[in-house]
Chain A
Amino acid sequence: AQKVTQAQTEISVVEKEDVTLDCVYETRDTTYYLFWYKQPPSGELVFLIRRNSFDEQNEISGRYSWNFQKSTSSFNFTITASQVVDSAVYFCALSEADTGRRALTFGSGTRLQVQP
């Protein structure tokens, strides 16, 4: 069975600090997809990124960057120069491609609070 662990329950930083959210996953599939979602205080779930298991290139999008390492089964998310608007709960998720089911297995989430 697949599993996603987000060990950091809550992180508090001051604006402009860099912060890294950790995600560790377990799967027996050889092909899988990893995701990050953001849930702001308003409650909606916002898709941020998808990563394929066969593509270990890191990705940067503005102040956001993602570090995917198959060797350690980790898919960490870094926010550079954090802003108050980054305050949200962030979820890491995994989808196994081999079964065709495509359902997501979520971590329990990390609540990020950015103080002004």
Chain B
Amino acid sequence: DAGITQSPRHKVTETGTPVTLRCHQTENHRYMYWYRQDPGHGLRLIHYSYGVKDTDKGEVSDGYSVSRSKTEDFLLTLESATSSQTSVYFCAISGPYSYEQYFGPGTRLTVT
């Protein structure tokens, strides 16, 4: 199994508070991704990174920011959480020579 961890695994927060989710990998892979999973939508890309300090937006990036200061860590921040950001968040990684992605265990975030 790919070495990917996410923290926290569960979080409940109030509307308007900042939240940071962490993804940590031990595979030294260049590409990292954040997706959110909502009923009826499958998984949708929020942001991705193709190297340290190199990030770009996905299809549902509004209200989210990311940072990657080290190869192994990719942080997702909700600057001011809203109820519409209640979701399950998955981090994924992929290696330099393959296109398949391997996913972390997910973080269930509830914004009340």
Contact = CB atoms under 8 A, between A and B. Distances in A.
Nearest to A96: B99
Chain A: interface residue count, which band? Answer: 20 to 34
Nearest to A100: B50
B48 A44 contact: no
B64 interface: no
Interface in B45-62: 45, 48, 50, 56, 58
Nearest to A34: B99
Contacts of A6: 42
Contacts, number: 59
Nearest to A46: B103
B50 to A, nearest CB: 8
Q: Which of B45, B50, B100, B103 has the most CB of A within 10 A?
A: B100
B74 to A, nearest CB: 14
Interface in B69-112: 88, 90, 92, 94, 98-103, 105-106
Contact of B41 (A43, A47, A108): A108
A25 interface: no
Q: Which of A43, A91, A93, A103 has the most CB of B within 10 A?
A: A103
Nearest to A4: B42
Contact of A101 (B41, B48, B92): B48
A6 B44 CA distance: 15
Interface of B: 31, 33, 35, 40-45, 48, 50, 56, 58, 88, 90, 92, 94, 98-103, 105-106
Interface of A: 4, 6, 33, 35, 37, 43-45, 47, 50, 91, 93, 95, 97, 100-109
